[in-house]
Amino acid sequence: MNQPLAPDSISWMRISSVYLPLATPISDAKVLTGRQKPMTEVALLFVELQTKDGHEGLGISYSKRAGGPGQFAHAKEIAPVLLGEDPSDIGRLWVKLAWAGASVGRSGLSTQAIAAFDVALYDLKARRANLPLAKLLGAYRDSVQCYNTSGGFLHTPTEQLLVNASASREKGIGGIKLKVGQPDRQLDLRRVEAVRKHLGDHVPLMVDANQQWDRPTAQRMCRVFEQFDLVWIEEPLDAYDHEGHAALAASFDTPIATGEMLTSAAEHGDLIRHRAADYIQPDAPRVGGITPFLKILSQADQAGLMLAPHFAMELHVHLAAIYPTEPWVEHFDWLEPLFHERLETRDGRMLVPQRPGLGLTLTDQARAWTREQVEVGKRA
């Protein structure tokens, strides 16, 4: 008769705040409309876990513009509640972390700090099982359709858009996404028209307005963009205008995509109930990690929605691979200096890494960009 396994327990954690500088200041429509300044860096929150039996996991969360110091401070404050806990009890530990900071809520910055712990626990579990994270969770596929965003920002001249689009296609990336939402809507139209003509009708093309249109403008622009046979129009309205997005989704052939700015499973549930998107775009670090992300996937699947997770391809390629309906994953090469490993793209698809867990290890450069760090507990 087999003896039950003695439970392992979490004995040590390292929490790091890492600032990734961007080579070029990034501008989307929020910058051109005066709501934000160009983005010059990304704040990453890393959690490294170790158990008394020597098993390890790596987790990630992030913030663009403000929020990085707050995420680190919250993570540092709640981390001790995990010491001595069984790392397999991931759902229970998510709740325990949420209760540790319950007075600041269960969405936004507080749960984005929890996300790094949650991802680290899943990474540890998959590594211990010697399985890629996607296989641990139950993959439907070994590769995912992918599209490039980083070459299509509004600070990029139209001529360079064409160069960037061709370069992405040559790298095996399938689709191209362009930023729109400028005050001069004719500029948006001309840029999309130029890229569509350059790529031809067969290449998947998306646009993203980053919430910068009001309802009448969105109605007009969605109508104009119908001619380009787009895969989707992203965030035409404010992220919380579910009724407005639902009206657009019902009115036009071009699918509507939104959800990246929502910060909990509950907020995504409200979006889904309103039928506010054809493509739902949850971001695992923003909603609190893999645990709430899986709840969102279950709701989206039942509602018959398509999936295109936002940013952080190193994590989302695994999570997209477990969705029943063919999804998309967003190709951003920004985070590559942080990891030794590279994701492979081929024939329009991103291959799911076959290394255990997320298949990621931090580089010396990531250590060099660390601004704050704290260790909790003792190494095995």
- Residue 6 has what pLDDT? 64
Mean pLDDT, the chain, whole residue set? 94
Query: Shortest CA distance to 336 belongs to which of 74, 44, 25?
Result: 44
Position 2 scores a pLDDT of: 58
Asked whether residue 3 carries a pLDDT value surpassing 60, the answer given is: no
Q: Percent of the chain having pLDDT more than 90? A: 84
Place of tokens 């910058």: 31
The count of C-alpha atoms lying within 13 angstroms of the C-alpha of 257, restricted to the half-sphere facing its C-beta, is 25
Distance CA 96, CA 254 (A): 42
Say whether pLDDT at 244 is over 70.
yes
Give yes or no for residue 297 having a pLDDT over 90. yes
Taking only the tens place, the pLDDT of each residue in 270-294 is 999 999 999 999 999 999 999 999 9
Active site residues: 179, 310
The 10s digit of each residue's pLDDT in 54-112 is 999 999 999 998 889 999 999 999 999 999 999 999 999 999 999 998 888 888 889 99
Q: How many CB atoms lie within 10 A of CB 25?
A: 13
Q: How many CA atoms lie within 13 A of 240 on its CB side?
A: 5
Q: Are 356 and 130 in contact (CB under 8 A)?
A: yes
pTM: 0.94
Structure confidence at residue 40 (pLDDT): 84
